[in-house]
Structure 1
Amino acid sequence: MWISTLPEALSEWQRTLCTAPLWQLADDTLVATEHAQDSAWLVAVGEALNPAALSRLGKLLGEQRVSAVLYPLPEAARPTLLLGCDRFSPELVAALREHAFAFDVCHLRTLPTLAQPGLLVMDMDSTAIRIECIDEIARLAGVGEQVAAVTAAAMQGKLEFADSLRNRVALLEGAPVSILDEVAANMPWMPGLPELVETLKGAGWKVAIASGGFTRFAGELQRALGLDAIHANELAVEEGRLTGKVTGRIVDAAVKAEELTALGEQYGIALTQRVAVGDGANDLKMMAAAGLGIAIHAKPVVRAQAAASIEHHDLDGVLCLLQASRAATLRWTR
C-alpha cells in the first residue's frame, strides 16, 4: 500500500489499515505483516502528522537501515504515531535532529508504560510553570535585569548553578516577603500540567517536583495538584524581609538526580519507569539518572543530550509520549 493513499487525517486511518494486524514501513509504502517489533521506538506527536509526514519518516528510517512497524494509533492527548523498531540507532537520532519537523518526534531505546507503576519528576520553573520565579521576584524587587541575565546563563550551563543562585538571591536582600505571595498568586501553569498529573496519578504513578527554585512556589503546586513530593530551595526570611540567603543544601543538578533516584527506590519504581522532565542544564543529571529524560522547550545544550525533546507542544506532548506505549499491545482490526 502506498502511504500517499492514506486519508489525510490520522483519525480516518483505521478503516484503511484494518485489513492487516500490523504494517511494515518501507520508504513510501506500508506492507502488511503479523510480526511486531519492539527493540526500540519512534514516537511522533502533532497536528501536522499526515501521510506525507509518515513517508518522510519512512525515508529517514530507510536511510539508516532501521526496520519499523506502524502500530495502531494510541489514544493520546494529541495525534500520535507509534512505530516499533528492530534496533536503536544513534545515527537515526542525529538525522531526526537535523530535520525541521512541524511535529515532535523521538527515537527511544525504551518507552515507559502507564500499565505499570511509574515515577515522573519535573523541574518547576519553565517546565511545570511558564516563568522563572526568581526572575519575577527580582523584577518586583527592582533588580530584574541583573538577575534575569544570570538566570539565562545558568540555564544554558554557562555558570555553576549553586554559585549563580547564591549571587542572584543576594540581590534580593531586603525585599519584602509579600513579593513571594504576589508571584505565587500569579504563577502561570504550563499548559497540560493538570491533565498530565491527573492522568499519571490515575494510572498509579507518583509525580514530584525537584527544583532549583523555591519551596514557596513548589508547595503551591503540591497543594493544588496533590503532588507526591517536592524538593526545592528555601529562602531565608527575617522580620518579614528576604535576607539574601538560601537556607540548607542548594538543589543543584546533583541533588535533583539524587532525589529522583531516592524517590524511585522509596516507591519501588523500576528504572525504566522513571521519567525526568526539564528545560535547563541543571536538569541534565536528573535526566541521565532516569529511564527516560524529556526536554521541554529546552536550551540547545539540553536538547542535544536529552533522550526525547518536546518543542511543538507543552506538557501535553509529554503526556502523549507516555500514552503512546498503550498501542504496542494492539493490532489493527475491523
Structure 2
Amino acid sequence: MIKLCVFDFDSTLMDGETIDILADSYGVGDKVRNITHNSTDLDFFEASLQKVSYLKGMSYTKVLEIGKKLPLMNGAYELCEFLKSKNILLIICSGGFYEGINPAMEKLGFNIAFANHLHQKNGLLTGLVSGEIMFLNSKGLMLQKLKKILHLKSEEIMCVGDGFNDIAMFEESGLKIAFCANELLQSKADICINKKDLKEIIKAI
C-alpha cells in the first residue's frame, strides 16, 4: 500500500527546466545550457551555483511572475487527483526553486515541498542560491528523514523523476517511476514512462 508519492519538479511535474526558462528571459540561456551540457568536471552543487550566478541582477518580481506561469506537465492534474483519491500524501523534492514550485503546489494541491531559494536583495537576484536540495544525494537524505518522521517503510513510498539527482530518492523508495528519464535512471526504475503525459502513470500503476 503506497502512502507517499515524491515527485521531482523540473521536466516531471513541470514541462521544462525552471533555470533555463529564467535564464532565457534574462538573456543568458545559452550560458546556462552550456554548463548543463559541459558540466562533466562539475558536481551537482557546483553546476547549480554556476547556473544561478548568471541570474545576478535579475528582477525578483520578474522571477515570481515567471514562476506563476510555468507550464505544468500534461496529465499533472489528473495524476495528482488520482493519487489524492487514494489518500496518498504528495510531496515535491526538487533541486529547483520555491519561486516556481510554490505556485504549482497551490494549483495541484500538494502537501509540502523541499527545494531551494533564489537569494534576492533590494528586489534583485544576488546570483546565490540555498536550500534543502543542493547536493546530488540530497533527495535521498530528505527521504530518509521523511520515513522516520512519518513512520513509513520504503515499500510504502513511490517516487517519480527524470534526472541523475533522482537516483538517491529511487534508492529509498519501493516503487520507482522514471518519467521521460535518462538511460541511467531508467535502468534503476520499476516503471519507465517515455510519453510526456503523466496520465500514463495512472495506467501503469
TM-score when scaled to structure 1? Answer: 0.58
Q: Sort the Cα spacing of 1:249 and 1:185 in 2 relative to 1 into closer, same or farther, 3 A.
A: closer
State the Cα RMSD in Å: 1.9
Number of aligned pairs? 205
List gaps (5 residues or longer) in structure 1.
Answer: 1-115, 323-334
Residues 78-129 of structure 1: CA deviation (Å, up to 9, x unaligned): xxxxxxxxxxxxxxxxxxxxxxxxxxxxxxxxxxxxxx35111010000010
Structure-2 residue corresponding to 1:306: 189
Q: Which residue type is aligned with residue 285 of structure 1?
A: A
Give the conservation status (yes or no) of the 8 Å contact 1:212–1:250. yes
Structure-2 residue corresponding to 1:134: 19
Q: For 1:199 and 1:289, how far apart are their aligned partners in 2?
A: 23
1:218 is aligned to 2:95? no
Find the partner of 2:76 among 171, 186, 193.
193
Q: Which residue type is aligned with residue 294 of structure 1?
A: I
Identity of aligned residues (%): 32
Q: For 1:313 and 1:171, how far apart are their aligned partners in 2?
A: 29
Q: Which has the larger radius of gyration?
A: 1
Q: For 2:169 and 2:133, how far apart are their aligned partners in 1?
A: 15
Give the conservation status (yes or no) of the 8 Å contact 2:96–2:115. yes
Q: Tell me which moved more, 264-273 or 230-239.
A: 264-273
Query: Which structure 2 residues correspond to residues 37-76 of structure 1 after superposition, within 5 A?
Result: none
1:120 is aligned to 2:5? yes
Give the conservation status (yes or no) of the 8 Å contact 1:173–1:244. yes
1:289 is paired with a residue whose SS is: coil
Residue 287 of structure 1 and its aligned partner are, at CA, apart by 1.0
2:22 is paired with a residue whose SS is: helix
1:271 is aligned to 2:154? yes
Q: For 1:167 and 1:288, how far apart are their aligned partners in 2?
A: 28
Q: Sort the Cα spacing of 1:207 and 1:153 in 2 relative to 1 into closer, same or farther, 3 A.
A: farther
Give the conservation status (yes or no) of the 8 Å contact 2:80–2:108. yes
1:139 is paired with a residue whose SS is: helix
Query: Which structure 2 residues correspond to residues 149-164 of structure 1 after superposition, within 5 A?
Result: 149-152=34-37, 159-164=42-47
Give the conservation status (yes or no) of the 8 Å contact 1:162–1:250. no
1:236 is aligned to 2:122? no
Q: For 2:37 and 2:178, how far apart are their aligned partners in 1?
A: 16
Give the conservation status (yes or no) of the 8 Å contact 1:117–1:204. no
1:144 is aligned to 2:44? no
Residue 133 of structure 1 and its aligned partner are, at CA, apart by 0.4
Q: Which residue type is aligned with residue 301 of structure 1?
A: L
Query: Which structure 2 residues correspond to residues 1-80 of structure 1 after superposition, within 5 A?
Result: none
Give the conservation status (yes or no) of the 8 Å contact 1:222–1:228. yes
1:175 is paired with a residue whose SS is: coil
Give the conservation status (yes or no) of the 8 Å contact 1:272–1:292. yes
Residues 162-208 of structure 1: CA deviation (Å, up to 9, x unaligned): 11000001111111112212322321111111111111111111010
Give the conservation status (yes or no) of the 8 Å contact 2:2–2:158. no
Residue 312 of structure 1 and its aligned partner are, at CA, apart by 2.8
Q: For 1:248 and 1:198, how far apart are their aligned partners in 2?
A: 28
List gaps (5 residues or longer) in structure 2.
Answer: none
Structure-1 residue corresponding to 2:85: 202
Structure-1 residue corresponding to 2:58: 175
Find the partner of 2:139 among 242, 256, 260.
256
Q: For 1:126 and 1:158, how far apart are their aligned partners in 2?
A: 23
Structure-2 residue corresponding to 1:18: none
Residue 299 of structure 1 and its aligned partner are, at CA, apart by 1.5
Residue 274 of structure 1 and its aligned partner are, at CA, apart by 0.6
Residue 143 of structure 1 and its aligned partner are, at CA, apart by 0.5
Q: Which residue type is aligned with residue 139 of structure 2?
A: K
Q: For 2:137 and 2:56, how far apart are their aligned partners in 1?
A: 27
Q: For 1:282 and 1:138, how far apart are their aligned partners in 2?
A: 21
Q: Which residue type is aligned with residue 143 of structure 1?
A: V
